[in-house]
Amino acid sequence: MSKNRFLAFSITILLLSALLVGCTSQVGPNDGAAKAVETYIQALADKNADQMIATSCAAWEEQAQLELDAFVGVQTRVENMACQVTGTEGEATLVSCTGQIVATYGAEDRNFPLDTTPFKVMEEGGEWRVCGR
């Protein structure tokens, strides 16, 4: 009888394991695009020019620097950011984000919502990179 219980227990564990594996989220082919945008936004808030350039298309690097320059001299932080792929536009993958960048000017906080315009993201050099808005 103990062999039957052990066999039943083993089968139950196997079925539960299969169920759990089936329920885990699968990483889609464009999840890297959303991650690239999140990295770009965090680098902007951190004022990390090297990281912003590393996550930008060559054609977007100058604009990335302009975005960074807009926050020079103020404290910034990202709040409640979540990004996801929402479609395509030509060869670009569109990534929309929620949340905001909060910039502190003196004692005043100013919110810059992330949901105003989707980011255009493309693969360049084997990596997902922000290429526009």
In order of their start, the domains of the chain are 29-132 (3.10.450.100)
Whole-angstrom CA distances from 52 to 8, 72, 77, 95 are: 55, 14, 15, 16
pLDDT in tens, 55-73: 999 999 999 999 999 999 9
pLDDT in tens, 77-100: 999 999 999 999 999 999 999 999
pTM, two decimal places? 0.77
pLDDT greater than 90 at residue 46: yes
With a CB cutoff of 8 Å and minimum separation 6, the contacts of 131 are 56, 57, 59, 60, 92, 120, 121, 122, 124
Read off the amino acid at residue 82. Answer: A
